[in-house]
């Protein structure tokens, strides 16, 4: 709340929501608040966000934050690699089905 008052909420250059960790923290807090109050709507899926609460402490430690950022960037690259591997696997399966038509029966 103090950061929001000091920097502003969303409009401007250095506002609270310009930092991705602050956005993550905001989503976790809002999901927790919505799941705490019974508003008459089934929000049990929002309780899954409670698992992510310990990650809020990452924003307070710069070294740990750099590690998490590095892991996130690695995961993006690994995602591209996963798409490529699935594509190669699918092509190999299609070729095997074409060249070995009766092998599975």
Determine, yes or no, domain membership for 10: yes
- Structural tokens at position 105: 């029966």
The Cα-based distances of 45 to 48, 50, 55, 56 in angstroms read 6, 10, 18, 19
Which of 60, 7, 1, 6 lies closest to 29, judged by CA? 1
Q: How far apart are CA 61 and CA 22, in angstroms?
A: 13
Average confidence (pLDDT) over 22-26: 79
Domain ranges, residue 43? 2-60
53 neighbors 32 (Cβ within 8 angstroms): yes
Decide if 34 is inside a domain: yes
| Number of domains, the chain | 1
Q: What average pLDDT score do residues 1-11 get?
A: 67
Domain membership of residue 76 (yes or no) is no
pLDDT in tens, 35-60: 777 666 666 666 676 677 777 777 67
Quick check: is 44 in a domain?
yes
Note whether 47 and 39 are within 8 A (CB): no
Determine the pLDDT at residue 72.
83
């Amino acid at each position: 709340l103090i950061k929001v008052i000091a920097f502003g909420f969303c409009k401007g250059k250095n506002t609270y929501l310009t930092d991705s960790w602050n956005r993550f923290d905001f989503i976790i807090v809002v999901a927790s608040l919505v799941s705490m109050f019974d508003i008459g709507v089934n929000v049990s899926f929002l309780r899954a966000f409670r698992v992510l609460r310990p990650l809020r402490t990452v924003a307070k430690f710069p070294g740990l934050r750099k590690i998490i950022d590095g892991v996130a960037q690695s995961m993006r690259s690994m995602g591209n690699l996963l798409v490529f591997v699935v594509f190669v696997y699918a092509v190999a399966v299609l070729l095997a089905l074409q060249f070995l038509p009766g092998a599975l029966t």
